[in-house]
Amino acid sequence: MIDITQISAEPPEKFSKDKVKKKFKKLVERIGELAALMYAQRKYSLLVVFQGMDASGKDGSTRVVFQDCPPYLVSTKSFKKPTDEEYAHDFLWRAHKATPEKGTIKVFNRSHYEDVLIQRVHKWVDEDRVAVRMKAINAFEELLEKDNDTIVLKFCLHLTPDRQLEKLQERIDVPEKNWKHNDGDWEEREHWAAYMRCYNDVINTCNAVPWHIIPANAQWYRNYCIAKVIVETLEQLDMEYPALDSEKFKAKH
């Protein structure tokens, strides 16, 4: 059993910030190359799921990890309070229609996991429904991977409550970050222990596609870990640029 509260959110002491940043730059460049290859081949797609407490770095990671990808290859979906239309459907409806098409990358900033995290913490759903939803999530993610060649990478951005407090306070103290401030983030912070229990359940139960738990106290290490996983995953795929069909070319020319 994984207990996220027992995992360090700090980078290992052996890692040099300057060296990691140089490696990260190369990884970002490689992600751009692999994304272009995936788009050309149109066999696979990539779904990146970022889950984490407020201020864990979901927006920042999205911005910097994919900075070398052509903009037409990457799009994001932010999961907030469901609209009336979304409430009128099953909880996975809004997630399924947002999955990436062949050759592209979609980033879920928060995701379908909100329906077994915040809704569970606030007891907006009962435990029987949570169990049903967790089974559905496993089936959903397996469907994407096994039936549609959509690679699903799930990142839990793990930071400590003390580090979150620092980052939330920055949004008040630093004028350039005032726009990020949300009173609701402070209110949700009061439920930290409940969130950790629910995150542990999610990580240990919704694991048909495994989670990557990313130490998020230090931005530079967080971003490096995410980029490394993406590169290693995409490099394992049988991707190549499609060759020119010489017979069709000769027939036309």
Kindly indicate the confidence band of residue 243, based on its pLDDT and cuts at 50, 70 and 90: confident
In a domain, 62, yes or no: yes
List pLDDT tens digits, range 63-99: 999 999 999 999 999 998 889 999 999 999 999 999 9
Look at residues 203, 219, 202, 114 and name the one whose alpha carbon lies nearest to residue 163.
219
We report the CATH number of the domain holding residue 202 as 3.40.50.300
Give the confidence band of 250 by pLDDT, cuts at 50, 70, 90: low
Residue 213, pLDDT > 80, answer: yes
pLDDT at 246: 58
- Confirm whether 252 is domain-assigned: no
Say whether pLDDT at 17 is over 90.
yes
Domain count, the chain: 1
Write the CB contacts of 127 (distance below 8 Å, at least 6 apart in sequence).
Answer: none
Of residues 119, 90, 118, 95, the one with CA closest to residue 107: 95
Q: What is the pLDDT of residues 218-240, one digit of tens each?
A: 999 999 999 999 999 999 999 99
Q: What is the pLDDT of residue 159?
A: 97
Neighbours of 227 (CB within 10 A): 23
Helix H, strand E, coil C: the string for the chain is: CCCHHHCCCCCCCCCCHHHHHHHHHHHHHHHHHHHHHHHHHCCCEEEEEEEECCCCCHHHHHHHHCCCCCHHHEEEEECCCCCHHHHCCCCCHHHHCCCCCCCCEEEEECCHHHHHCHHHHCCCCCHHHHHHHHHHHHHHHHHHHHHHCEEEEEEEEECCHHHHHHHHHHHHHCHHHHHHCCHHHHHHHCCHHHHHHHHHHHHHHCCCCCEEEEECCCHHHHHHHHHHHHHHHHHCCCCCCCCCCHHHHHHHC
CB atoms within 10 A of CB 158: 23
- In this predicted model, what pLDDT tens digit does every residue of 98-130 receive, in sequence order? 999 999 999 999 999 999 999 999 999 999 999
- pLDDT 10s digits, 132-184: 999 999 999 999 999 999 999 999 999 999 999 999 999 999 999 999 999 98
Name the percent of the chain lying above pLDDT 70: 96
Q: Is residue 69 part of a domain?
A: yes
Say if 44 falls within a structural domain.
Answer: yes
What is the token pair recorded at 242?
Answer: 């499609």
Does the residue 248 lie in any domain? no
Give the model's pLDDT for residue 251: 58
| Burial category of 61 from C-beta neighbours within 10 Å (exposed 0-12, middle 13-18, buried 19 and up) | buried
Helices 17-41 & 58-65, crossing angle to 10 degrees? 70
pLDDT of residue 245: 67
Does pLDDT of 253 surpass 60? no
Domain that holds residue 223: 4-239
- Please measure the distance between the N-terminal and C-terminal CA atoms of the chain and give it in whole angstroms: 63
pLDDT at 244 over 90: no
249 found inside a domain: no
Q: How far is CA 168 from the centre of its chain?
A: 21
pTM of the predicted protein model: 0.94
The residue among 25, 202, 75 whose CA lies nearest residue 130 is 202
Confidence class for position 247, pLDDT limits 50, 70, 90: low
